[in-house]
């Protein structure tokens, strides 16, 4: 019992980081993921990590222990948030496509996040999740949070890194990069819709008897769906590129955290 009481503070720190990671990480943070399984998975992963690297760590439950708990929670949240940013790329690009195609007023409730989401964004998000699960991406996420202790042990000084501003700069740059990727993904349909609008404008000037507001909406929808069907076979390769960028961003984050 004395040994367990000595090891419990270190185990609690491990549990805080991994639980915080599961709260915001893609796949694991989904509303369709049962909470009981989520809690049990976080607990057993924490036991595995603790028996691997945390058993020999001496953690004293003194006045600084509360700060250590917050530090581990922030570490787990940041790691999960960076991975989740790359899943929002397809939703952002889908929203841009919907606005151009006329689907922007027909948002639906996303069953995964429980919020209103664009139709094409939700469609591509589900495809991305299927591709991610098919390549065992959730295993790589678990490996990433378990490998974070090699870069950021329990006895770290992460608050100095926060104070230095390097993590804030990294998150800002990563957010900008993900938004740029969303623009690049939506570019084919956005450019096509612009050319379609240009053609409809020329049609209105040459044949004013045509009501562009009546024929324009179905034409834009048909053209947009046709371009989407042409682009659909390349989504698998595109998603794998996004996953590579996500894991590269996590590695950069670990390097920044290691500087503590």
109-153 per-position pLDDT tens digit = 655 555 566 677 777 778 888 888 888 888 888 888 888 888 877
- Those residues with Cβ within 8 angstroms of residue 85's Cβ, 6 or more apart along the chain or in another chain: 174, 175, 178, 246, 249
Quick one: CA torsion of 229, 235, 106, 214, rounded to 10 degrees? -30
Segment 227-245, tens digit of pLDDT: 888 888 888 788 888 888 8
Q: Is the pLDDT confidence value at 32 over 80?
A: no
Handedness of CA 167, 169, 174, 175 (dihedral sign): positive
- Those residues with Cβ within 8 angstroms of residue 21's Cβ, 6 or more apart along the chain or in another chain: 28, 76, 77, 79, 80, 145
Global pTM?
0.82
Q: How many CA within 13 A on the CB side of residue 151?
A: 19
Q: Is the pLDDT confidence value at 3 over 70?
A: no
Where is mean pLDDT largest: 50-54, 100-104, 240-244?
Answer: 240-244
Q: Both tokens of residue 126?
A: 């589900």
Q: How far is CA 41 from the centre of its chain?
A: 20
Segment 62-84, tens digit of pLDDT: 778 888 888 888 888 898 899 88
Question: How far is CA 247 from each of CA 28, 135, 146, 252, rounded to the nearest angstrom?
Answer: 17, 14, 14, 9
């Amino acid at each position: 019992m004395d040994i367990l009481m000595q090891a419990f503070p270190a185990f609690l720190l491990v549990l805080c980081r991994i639980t915080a990671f599961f709260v915001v990480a893609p796949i694991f943070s989904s509303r369709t993921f049962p909470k009981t399984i989520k809690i049990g998975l976080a607990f057993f992963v924490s036991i595995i990590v603790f028996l691997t690297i945390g058993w020999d760590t001496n953690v004293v439950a003194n006045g600084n222990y509360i700060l250590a708990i917050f530090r581990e929670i922030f570490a787990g949240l940041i790691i999960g948030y960076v991975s989740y940013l790359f899943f929002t790329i397809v939703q952002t690009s889908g929203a841009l496509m919907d606005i151009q195609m006329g689907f922007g007023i027909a948002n639906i409730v996303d069953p995964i996040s429980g919020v209103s989401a664009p139709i094409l964004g939700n469609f591509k998000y589900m495809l991305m999740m299927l591709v991610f699960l098919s390549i065992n991406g959730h295993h790589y996420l678990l490996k990433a949070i378990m490998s974070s202790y090699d870069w950021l042990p329990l006895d770290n000084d992460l608050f100095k890194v926060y104070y230095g501003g390097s993590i804030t700069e990294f998150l800002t740059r990563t957010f900008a990069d993900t938004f740029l990727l969303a623009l690049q993904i939506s570019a084919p349909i956005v450019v096509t819709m612009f050319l379609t609008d240009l053609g409809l404008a020329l049609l209105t000037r040459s044949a004013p008897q045509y009501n562009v507001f009546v024929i324009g909406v179905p034409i834009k929808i048909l053209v947009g769906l046709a371009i989407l069907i042409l682009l659909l076979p390349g989504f698998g390769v595109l998603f794998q590129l996004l996953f590579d960028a996500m894991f590269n961003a996590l590695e950069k984050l670990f390097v920044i955290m290691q500087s503590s």
